[in-house]
Copies of this chain bind each other. A is one copy, B any other.
Amino acid sequence: MNDKHLSTQFDAELSAISTRVLEMGGLVEQQVAQAVDALANLSEERAGEVIKAEQRVNQFELEIDRDLSSIIARRQPTARDLRLLIGVSKTIGNLERVGDEAARIARTVQRLIATGMHGRLFPTTQMTLEAKLATTSLRRALDAFARLDVNLAMEVIKQDNEIDAEFDGLLRKLITYMMEDPRTITASIDLVFVAKALERVGDHAKNLAEQVIYIAKGTDVRHTPPEGLASAVS
């Protein structure tokens, strides 16, 4: 085999890894959407689906990480190829944590259903808005990964503040509910954790976007404040 042949095989391996990451991303995205849907409709069935998917997500993480090590050991990549592999390693770690958050939400839904402690206590509008912001950020972060789109990745990072603000508002709302009717405290605390889980999904979307920038540009923008992003990347 000549070098060209080897390199074509290598490209195919890298491309296969990226495809797997997007498959994993699609599964995790679906988990979050189903968890949000399970909450909105208090659906036991939907919650069960989210939890069932957890094992497949974990399997993706283990398999992709194994493939990454194998590729690094056999191909001894440098420069951009190595960055892709390192970036993918961090990306799948983040995706797995998104899946954890979705499962956390689903288990809360199961508990809310089991205890019958729900009803008028839902701050539906705000919860829906936070969920929408979080799922949109995740969707856009995955799009940015698929196209290695640095501009889109920067937008995702900048929008994380909005999700944080939405979480703060939702938390204040839930505290008001609890104060007005202390009997709702137990269920409200559950909803506080749901709100927190959605906020974390936003954080992970931001982390995914940071890895897109690292892969595409070689610049590590973790811990770079949003206002310093543009100059760090250019």
| Chain A residues packing against B (C-beta within 8 Å) | 58, 61-62, 65-66, 68-69, 72-73, 76-79, 82-83, 86, 89-90, 93, 171, 175, 178-179, 182, 185-186, 189, 192-193, 196, 220, 222-223
Assuming A65-B86, A171-B189, what are 11 further A-B pairs, CB within 8 angstroms? A61-B222, A62-B220, A62-B222, A69-B82, A69-B86, A72-B82, A72-B86, A89-B90, A175-B185, A178-B182, A193-B196
A185 touches B192 (CB 8 A): no
Distance of A232 from chain B, by nearest CB (Å): 12
A72 touches B72 (CB 8 A): yes
> In the complex, what residues of B have CB within 8 A of residue A83's CB?
69
B185 touches A179 (CB 8 A): yes
Distance of A136 from chain B, by nearest CB (Å): 24
- Chain B residue nearest to A223 (CB atoms) is B58
- Chain B residue nearest to A97 (CB atoms) is B97
> In the complex, what residues of B have CB within 8 A of residue A196's CB?
193, 196
- Chain B residue nearest to A57 (CB atoms) is B223
Distance of A133 from chain B, by nearest CB (Å): 20
**How far apart are the CA atoms of A93 and B78 in the complex, in Å?**
22
* Nearest 10 pairs of A and B residues by beta carbon: A76-B76, A58-B223, A73-B78, A179-B182, A182-B182, A178-B185, A73-B82, A179-B185, A175-B185, A62-B220
Distance of A92 from chain B, by nearest CB (Å): 11
- Chain B residue nearest to A183 (CB atoms) is B179
A186 touches B175 (CB 8 A): yes
With beta carbons under 8 angstroms apart, the residue of B86, B89, B189 that contacts A192 is: B189
> In the complex, what residues of B have CB within 8 A of residue A76's CB?
76
**How far apart are the CA atoms of A76 and B62 in the complex, in Å?**
22
> In the complex, what residues of B have CB within 8 A of residue A61's CB?
222-223
B192 touches A58 (CB 8 A): no
**How far apart are the CA atoms of A86 and B86 in the complex, in Å?**
9
> In the complex, what residues of B have CB within 8 A of residue A69's CB?
82-83, 86
A62 touches B223 (CB 8 A): yes
- Chain B residue nearest to A172 (CB atoms) is B186
**How far apart are the CA atoms of A82 and B66 in the complex, in Å?**
12
